[in-house]
Amino acid sequence: MTRAVILATLLIAAQVRTADPVRRGLKESDFPRTIKVSDNVYTYEDFHAGDEKFTTTNMFVVTPAGVLVADGQGDVAATKGLVDAIAKVTPNPIKYVVICSDHGDHTGGNAAFPAGVTYIIHPTSKAILDRQAEGRGGRGGPSWRLPAGAQLVSEKNPLTLGGEDIEILFLGRAHTGGDLGVYLPRRKILFMSEIFLNRVFPAMRSAYPSDWLGALTKAERMDVNIYIPGHGFTEIGDVSKEELRAYHKALETVIAEATRLHKAGVPVEDAIKQANWGEYSSWTLAKSQGPIAIRKVYEQIEGTLP
Ligand SMILES: [Zn+2]
């Protein structure tokens, strides 16, 4: 344990409910940071690329037989930061990396994970990453590709690592279509990756809006004490439950507003201007993600979602 690891108990103090580090009372220099969530479970938060600061949040589980990591960061240097942070907590090697979100901000740094780790991924996300790796071939871009031998999880894959039961779960299509969660039954912790964006406006570029609501309902019905988001801050205990519920309500409200505009016959470009997001207009990324949400819900209603 090092001073870089912040004890979760420190987080029990009342926190401003926001994804914005400044409003939260934090400094840019506080990041990246490692948070101890329970005995052997940690999150790692580093800033997402872009002007609007918010965190991309990963989870790692330390066991005597090695470490399981859920999601990486967006580039090799940032994910190396995660790997180094894990090494400060344990000398045990990383055995598994679960690709819960296939998006670049969670996979773009995967080359920093040690060779020989076993990747776990949903078939939909594997197809997306394989396609991207082929597309990059001729352009001299990043050369990481998902190694052969990745374990595929379509519904549920229980595994045991160093005595810790770990369930890799597909709760339905949500933010990417291949969204996976990582459930720790002993600790009642569920890492939700991009199924749960804590105080970040529902980001729908590749989303399945109605299915996403179903995935959230499933998560809420599970025996969970701590829900961990893929973006936004780590919360513990009841706050994490309240924030998951708040996110669910945000997604419902955004879908309802877009649906209202569609029913009123408002053309998509006008709907983007007219949409009233209420309290969610102050959430992180509302300006950039609001228009995308309108387009996506319109596509769903019109039956043109892929
Ligand atoms: Zn993301």
Q: Using one digit for the tens of pLDDT, what is the confidence trace for 138-192?
A: 454 556 899 999 999 999 999 999 999 999 999 999 999 999 999 999 999 999 9
| β-sheet with 151-152: strand ranges across | 5-7, 33-38, 41-47, 55-63, 66-70, 94-99, 118-121, 151-152
User: First and final CA of the chain: distance in angstroms?
Assistant: 47
User: How far does the centroid of ligand 1 lie from the alpha carbon of residue 194, in Å?
Assistant: 6
Question: What rounded mean pLDDT belongs to the chain?
Answer: 93
Q: Which residues pair with 190 in a beta bridge?
A: 183, 227
The residue among 237, 187, 232 whose CA lies nearest residue 45 is: 232
Helix, strand, coil abundance in the chain, percent, nearest 5? 40, 20, 40
Q: How close is the Cα of 48 to the center of ligand 1, in Å?
A: 8
Across-strand partners of 291? none
- What residue type is 86 in one-letter code? I
Quickly tell me which residue has 């009123």 as its tokens.
264
Q: Is the pLDDT of residue 51 over 60?
A: yes
Amino acid at 213: L
Instruction: State the distance from the centre of ligand 1 to the C-alpha of 32, rounded, in angstroms.
Output: 16
Predicted confidence band at 54 (pLDDT cuts at 50, 70, 90)?
very high
pLDDT at 274 over 70: yes
Please tell me which residue, 21 or 12, carries the higher pLDDT value.
Answer: 21
CA of 122 to the centre of ligand 1 (A): 16
Per-residue pLDDT, 105: 96
Q: What is the pLDDT of residue 127?
A: 95
Q: Residue 236: which pLDDT band, with cuts at 50, 70 and 90?
A: confident
Half-sphere exposure in the Cβ direction for 107 (13 Å, CA): 24
Section 73-87 average pLDDT? 97
- Amino acid making up residue 297: V
More confident residue, 142 or 93: 93
Structure tokens at 261: 């505009």
CA of 46 to the centre of ligand 1 (A): 12
The answer to whether the beta carbons of residues 133 and 35 sit under 8 Å apart is no
Q: In angstroms, what is the span from residue 175 Cα to ligand 1's centroid? A: 9
In angstroms, the CA 290 to CA 294 distance is: 6
Is the pLDDT score of 296 beyond 90? Answer: yes
pLDDT in the model for residue 298: 97
Q: Ligand 1 centre and the CA of 264: distance in Å?
A: 32
Per cent of the chain over pLDDT 70 is: 93
Rounded distance from Cα 197 to ligand 1 centre (Å): 9
CA of residue 195 to ligand 1 center, whole Å: 10
With pLDDT > 90 as the criterion, what percentage of the chain qualifies? Answer: 87
Å from CA of 248 to ligand 1 middle: 17
Q: Is the pLDDT of residue 215 over 50?
A: yes
For position 1, what pLDDT does the model report? 46
What is the Å distance from ligand 1's center to 271 Cα? 25
Least confident of 116-120, 130-134, 207-211, 295-299: 130-134
Report the separation in Å between the CA atom of 202 and the middle of ligand 1, taken as the mean of its atom positions.
11
Q: How far is the CA of 163 from the centre of ligand 1 (A)?
A: 31
103 Cα–ligand 1 center, Å: 6
Q: For 19-28, 34-43, 84-93, 203-212, which range has the lowest pLDDT when averaged over its residues?
A: 19-28
Report how far ligand 1's centroid is from the alpha carbon of 64 (Å).
Answer: 30
pTM of the complete model: 0.94
**Beta partners for residue 97, in sequence order:** 69, 119
Q: Tell me, in angstroms, the distance from the centre of ligand 1 to residue 128's CA.
A: 15
Report which of 100, 233, 284 is spatially closest to residue 175, judged by C-alpha positions: 100
